[in-house]
Amino acid sequence: VQLVESGGGLVQPGGSLKLSCAASGFSFGDYVIAWFRQVPGKEREGVACFSNRDKITYYGDSVKNRFTFSTDNAKSTMYLQMNNLKPDDTAVYYCAADPRYYSGSYFCRGVVPPNFWGQGTQVTVSS
């Protein structure tokens, strides 16, 4: 399993950024696929988690109505569109995947950590 993130960078508050995660080595449509973020010294936070079990995307409370998760199954790629970015969104963003048949909320809420992770991409929101 390989997950490779791209699209991070520096953006001003109120701006937008779109992250991509190219996946390989597994059946993209059968896994839970997700985005997490982490700030040094803080717990990892589930941002958006999609399960093929219930076809529902679970969003973390801090990003609801600002971030949108999407996929291109033909390209085995997941995306995270981030709008109205705030300084508190500054973090390393990771994509993740797991073959277990759980709902997305299990992963995003930290009940079950995903088995596979990308290397992360830095997002910095600052003026």
pLDDT tens, 40-94? 999 999 999 999 888 999 999 999 999 999 999 999 999 999 999 999 999 999 9
Residue 29 has pLDDT above 90, yes or no: no
pLDDT at 27: 86
Read off the amino acid at residue 72: D
pLDDT at 107: 93
> Contact, 32 vs 100, CB < 8 A?
yes
Residues 47 and 21: their CA atoms lie apart, in Å, by 14
pLDDT at 53: 82
